[in-house]
Amino acid sequence: MELIDIHAHLDMMEDSPEVTLEKAKEVGVRKIITIGTEPSDHQFVLDVAKRLYPDVYCTLGVHPHHGVQWAEEIGKFIEAHLHEPYVVAVGEFGLDYYYNQSSKEDQIRSFRAQMDIAARHQMPVEIHTRDAEDDTIEVLKDYKGKVKGVIHCFTGSETLARACLDLGYNISFSGVVTFKNADSLRKICEFVPLDRMHVETDAPFLSPVPVRGKKNVPAHVVHTAQFIAQLKGISVDDLAQKTNENARQMFSKIIW
């Protein structure tokens, strides 16, 4: 079995990126995408991906928490690096009305600006959405057919899931799907087609059962994959094969 963790934050790990990658490979996690979330971490993810390419890749984006920071020069920095072979997507960005660390207006402005960048450069996106379903759908509808991507760490409603699938987006599941109180999310996971599904850790957050309570690491995506495979009634090898194929199609720069 070989897997890819399509969403992790290597800048937040206790171990170095090199050690984190080695531990992941020991359990069959072959590749990792480390995520840019704000201007202060962009150079880190670029440097790590360049150093560990082709096993580690990165994205560049501004998380909704930091939407207030969005400025034209940040967009120019992102665009200037999208040609690098190890930069595979724009993100993560989107809307988060649960914490509202940036105003809704700033979040939407940042969201649309990054969708514009993705559309111009024909790059996929990794979208964050929490407690902002109507506005998320509204923005995504405006870019239908222009941008493709993944709704990362999906924890939303069935309505959001079906809308995103209808708009052409894939859905990524994290360790949350293994949580005891996640029955509604498991029902969504059951109907999401295998050819539209990804797995991730969002490490160091959201460790899956049976490692709840520990800091998450990319190696733990194995537990999420095993859980989803059982939920879908297939072998974990089949799930890994399908999600890897999905990742190859979505993040076309990744070398396998």
What is the predicted pLDDT for the residue at 1?
Answer: 84
Whole-angstrom Cα distance, residue 213 to residue 235?
27
How far apart are alpha carbons 71 and 137 in whole angstroms? 24
| Distance linking the first and last C-alpha atoms of the chain | 14
Counting as low any pLDDT under 50, the low residues of the chain are none
d(CA 175, CA 216): 9
94: left (phi over 0), alpha (psi -120 to 50) or beta: left
pTM reported for the whole predicted model: 0.98
57 contacts: CB under 8 Å, gap ≥ 6: 31, 32, 33, 34, 49, 86, 87, 88, 251, 253, 254
Give the model confidence (pLDDT) of 15-53 as tens digits: 999 999 999 999 999 999 999 999 999 999 999 999 999
Residue 106: helix, strand or coil by DSSP?
helix
Q: Dmax of the chain from CA atoms?
A: 48
User: What's the pLDDT tens digit per position in 200-230?
Assistant: 999 999 999 999 999 999 999 999 999 999 9
pLDDT at res. 203: 98
Q: Which residue has the tokens 């089949």?
A: 238
pLDDT of residue 147: 98
User: Tokens 């890897």 correspond to what residue?
Assistant: 244
Strand, coil or helix: what is 249?
helix
Of 134, 130, 132, the closest CA to residue 153 belongs to 130
Q: What is the dihedral of CA 2, 8, 13, 18, to 10 degrees?
A: 50
The CATH class that applies to domain 3-250 reads alpha beta
Q: Strand locations in the chain, DSSP E? A: 3-8, 29-34, 56-60, 87-96, 125-130, 149-151, 170-173, 197-199
The SS3 assignment for 70 reads coil
DSSP, collapsed to helix, strand or coil, labels residue 29 as strand
pLDDT (0 to 100) of residue 207: 98
Measured between alpha carbons, how far is 92 from 7 in angstroms, rounded to an integer?
9
Q: Where are the domains of the chain?
A: 3-250
How far, CA to CA in Å, does 78 sit from each of 8, 42, 190?
A: 19, 9, 36
Residue with tokens 């797995």: 199
